[in-house]
Structure 1
C-alpha cells in the first residue's frame, strides 16, 4: 500500500512537469516559423491595424443569396463574423470572419494541413490566399496590415441532399471578397 501511495503522489508531479514543458516549449522562438508561413508578426498587428468593416464584411444578406444561388434558413451574426446556413450544419453555408491582430499565415497553414493547398491571390492590391476542395468548398483570406478577413463558401457534404452546387464556390467566394475589400473603411 505505501508503494501505491508514492506512485499516486508522484503522478501529479510528472503530469505537472509534462504540462510545464509543453507550455514553455523546447527551443528559442526566433520568429522563423511565423516568417515561413508568410504571416505578419504579432507586433505588426498592434502598430498596423487594418481598416474597419461593417457587419458581415460590409455585404448584405441579399448579396450573399445572389452570389451563392440558394436561400438561407438561418443567419448568425456576432462581433467577428456572420454565417448563413441552409438546412443544418452539414448543409450548404457561407461564412465571413474578421481577424484583428491575427496572422493570416496560421489560417493558410491550417488549410494546407486539411488537404486544401492554398494558392496566392491578390484583390485590389491586397494579398492573401485561396484554397478549395472538390468544387464543394472554397475559402479566401485577404490581409490588411496586422488583420485579415476570411470568406468560406461550402455547398455541403454528399449527405446534404444537394445534387450539384448552383455555382463554383471559389467564384462565389471571390465575388464576396471583392465586395468586402472594395467597401473597407
Structure 2
C-alpha cells in the first residue's frame, strides 16, 4: 500500500474504532446487567494435581512409577515407561473453571463411550469407559469440574481403570479447599 494511502487510512480507522466503542448509557447499562447476571461463584481450590501425590496415582493405577510427569496450569499427566503393545499407560487430571461438565460428558458419548451418573462426596458427576482400557470420571462443583482420565492404551491393564479413576477423584474431592 502506498504511504499516502496508509497515512490517510490510519486516522479514518481510529475514528471508526472510537465511534464503534461508544454507546448510549442504556446500552452500557444493559451490557453491565448481562455481565452481572453471568457472574459465577468460584468453586473450591483443588491444589496441584488435584492434591494427589505421584505415589497415590501409581498405587491407584497399579504401576510402580512413571517415566513422565507433567504439571502445568491446566492439570497433570503421568505416563508409565512400561509398554506392552502400541502404547504406554497414561493418567491425567484436569481442573476446569467456569466450564460446563455436560460438554465433556457429551464429548465422551459422541465418541462411543456412554456416560453414567456418579456421585462423589455429595457432588454429581459422570463416568464413561471403553472396554477395560479406558475410563474418564468428572465431578461437578457448581460451575467448575475436575476430570480424571485413565488409559492403558495398548498396554495390559494393571488395575480396573474406573476403580482407579474413582479412587483418585475421591481423594481430590476430600482434599478440596473451600
| TM-score normalised to structure 2 length | 0.74
Equivalent-residue separation in structure 2 for 1:46 and 1:143 (angstroms): 18
In 2 relative to 1, CA 47–116 (structure 1 residues): closer, same or farther, beyond 3 Å? Answer: same
Q: Which moved more, 1:43-52 or 1:55-64?
A: 43-52
Equivalent-residue separation in structure 2 for 1:167 and 1:145 (angstroms): 31
Contact 2:40–2:98 (CA<8 Å) still a contact in 1?
Answer: no
Contact 2:90–2:152 (CA<8 Å) still a contact in 1?
Answer: yes
Equivalent-residue separation in structure 1 for 2:42 and 2:88 (angstroms): 35
Equivalent-residue separation in structure 1 for 2:121 and 2:37 (angstroms): 21
Equivalent-residue separation in structure 2 for 1:148 and 1:116 (angstroms): 19
Question: Gaps spanning 5+ residues in structure 2: where?
Answer: 1-35
In 2 relative to 1, CA 101–44 (structure 1 residues): closer, same or farther, beyond 3 Å? Answer: farther
Contact 1:81–1:95 (CA<8 Å) still a contact in 2?
Answer: yes
The residue that corresponds to 1:86 in the other structure is 80
Task: Tell me, yes or no, if structure 1 residue 168 matches structure 2 residue 160.
Answer: yes
- Where does 1:94-113 land on structure 2 (aligned, <5 Å)? 94-113=91-110
The residue that corresponds to 1:156 in the other structure is 153
Contact 2:52–2:168 (CA<8 Å) still a contact in 1?
Answer: yes
Matched residue count: 139
Contact 1:45–1:146 (CA<8 Å) still a contact in 2?
Answer: no
Equivalent-residue separation in structure 2 for 1:146 and 1:154 (angstroms): 26
Contact 1:59–1:176 (CA<8 Å) still a contact in 2?
Answer: yes
- Give the alignment's Cα RMSD to 1 decimal: 2.0
| TM-score normalised to structure 1 length | 0.71
Per-residue CA shift, 1:57-104, capped at 9, x if unaligned?
Answer: 000001001111112110000002000012489311000000001000
| Shift, 1:46, TM fit | 3.3
Moved segments of 4+, more than 2 Å: 43-46, 87-90
Question: Gaps spanning 5+ residues in structure 1: where?
Answer: 1-42
| Shift, 1:48, TM fit | 2.3
| Shift, 1:44, TM fit | 8.5
In 2 relative to 1, CA 47–169 (structure 1 residues): closer, same or farther, beyond 3 Å? Answer: same
